[in-house]
Structure 1
Amino acid sequence: MANIRKIIEEKKIIAVLTIDNAKDAVPVANALKAGGVTAIELTLRTPAALEAIRRIRGEVEGVTVAAGTVLKPEQVKQVVEAGADFAVSPGINPRVVKAAQDAGLFFGPGIMTPSEIEMALELDCTLLKFFPAGTTGGLKHLNAMAAPYKHLGVKFIPLGGITCANVKEILSDKLIAGVGGSWLAKPDVINSGNFAEIERLAREVTEVIKG
């Protein structure tokens, strides 16, 4: 499981997707991969999510696949069976974290307060989702909030308010392991079948990060 943190730090950006139709999963993943983005989070917000994970895992090589919005312990078993490499949630539910640990699934719970960071640390989680980042003060807030915990090796994946314009600045912060990018493949773009636009956005952010 320790390898997942290293993978995220290397890939730097995770495309966050909400898939309405499983048939779009592989074309979206291929478009993102072609643009240089090879980490994908499929949120469990639609009935198609688990099948989307299965299809990407089975048909697209070289992509790390996460399950997002994992809110219940029973969902842990479902995403493991679907083939997810790791999972995240918008908040922190000790029952879900424990279920993931029992299943051997790397899990990043969501936090936005010091109390939630301490709860996560108590559960042996040191890679945390910072959500919603854009409306809670961004990096300034995170650095102030996380200052007492830096010596414990905790790192964060912010989601919300991340754009191509600010991604490089955010990634330069030592607290950041990687970022979530929900703008890379928005539902309306996926549903319209505009995979060329998804590839363009992926390539754009990849070039910004490398530049």
Structure 2
Amino acid sequence: MSNLDQQLANLKVIPVIALNKVEHALPLAKALMENGMPCAEITFRTEAAIGAIKAMRAAYPEMLIGAGTILTPAQVDQAIDAGVDFIVSPGLNPTTVKYCQSKNMPIVPGVNNPSLVEQAMELGLKTVKFFPAGPSGGVGMLKALTAVYPVKFMPTGGVSLSNIDDYLEIPAVLACGGTWMVPTQLIDNEQWEELGALVKDAVAKVN
């Protein structure tokens, strides 16, 4: 098992975060760290992503930080420069995967069917994201895939406090990505105590 795989397996849940303001990065990271979730996947869907990652990395060097929604090699470079530990993409783009491999940067690309899992394996990948998990058949589909393929999965998309245990019970699932404990509305409104409580509940659920 790779170092990243081990870290994901230890954490069990990865918060997938869309930040609209860079200045929210540090209070958010503080809420995550203090409530037992020393990790973050910052999506590149907002302009604040790069600045947020840089701020988090400087303040919390021990934090596991990923860049999500990475679509191009140029974004890979931006994420690496910002200080990420791993890359996550919504789909399986061989160009992006190979570029990450050339930079020795772990990437967890999204797949949701047998053909994509086989393409990922052909690229030498052993860990993939099952995305979007809910719309793609959820636990049933994932059990079917794990029965056939010797890869690890990180289900994301439709995972919640009510169903995360169902995913984590599958032996091939390392961790789940989720947004429910880091809702954008709470971040935008700077409701850090409320967010911290959601994070604490998520950590308690998986431990």
TM over 0.5: yes
CA contact (8 A) 1:43 1:69 kept: yes
Q: Could you tell me how far apart the structure 1 residues matched to 2:74 and 2:20 are?
A: 21
Correspondence for 1:157: 154
Counterpart AA for 1:200 = A
CA contact (8 A) 2:143 2:170 kept: no
CA contact (8 A) 1:108 1:128 kept: yes
What secondary structure, in the 3-state scheme, does the structure 1 residue paired with 2:148 have? helix
Q: CA deviation at 1:34?
A: 1.3
What secondary structure, in the 3-state scheme, does the structure 2 residue paired with 1:148 have? coil
Structure-2-length-normalised TM-score: 0.97
Of 10-19 and 58-67, more deviation after overlay is shown by: 58-67
Q: Could you tell me how far apart the structure 1 residues matched to 2:194 and 2:129 are?
A: 27
Q: CA deviation at 1:61?
A: 4.2
CA contact (8 A) 1:35 1:201 kept: no
Unaligned runs of 5+ in 2: none
Q: Could you tell me how far apart the structure 2 residues matched to 1:193 and 1:147 are?
A: 43
Q: Could you tell me how far apart the structure 2 residues matched to 1:193 and 1:60 are?
A: 20
Q: CA deviation at 1:159?
A: 0.7
Q: Could you tell me how far apart the structure 1 residues matched to 2:68 and 2:118 are?
A: 22
CA contact (8 A) 2:68 2:88 kept: yes
Counterpart AA for 1:23 = E
Matched, 1:18 2:15: no
Matched, 1:106 2:106: yes
Map 1:1-211 → 2, pairs under 5 A: 2-149=2-149, 152=150, 154-210=151-207
Q: CA deviation at 1:146?
A: 3.3
Q: Percent identity?
A: 36
Q: CA deviation at 1:69?
A: 0.4
What secondary structure, in the 3-state scheme, does the structure 2 residue paired with 1:80 have? helix
Q: Could you tell me how far apart the structure 2 residues matched to 1:50 and 1:143 are?
A: 35
Counterpart AA for 1:51 = G
Q: Could you tell me how far apart the structure 1 residues matched to 2:144 and 2:14 are?
A: 24
Q: Could you tell me how far apart the structure 1 residues matched to 2:128 and 2:117 are?
A: 8
Counterpart AA for 1:68 = G
Of 127-136 and 164-173, more deviation after overlay is shown by: 164-173
Query: Where does structure 1 differ by over 3 angstroms across 4 or more consecutive aligned residues?
Result: none
Q: Could you tell me how far apart the structure 2 residues matched to 1:61 and 1:78 are?
A: 18
Structure-1-length-normalised TM-score: 0.95
RMSD, aligned α-carbons? 1.2
Q: Could you tell me how far apart the structure 2 residues matched to 1:105 and 1:121 are?
A: 17
Q: CA deviation at 1:32?
A: 1.2
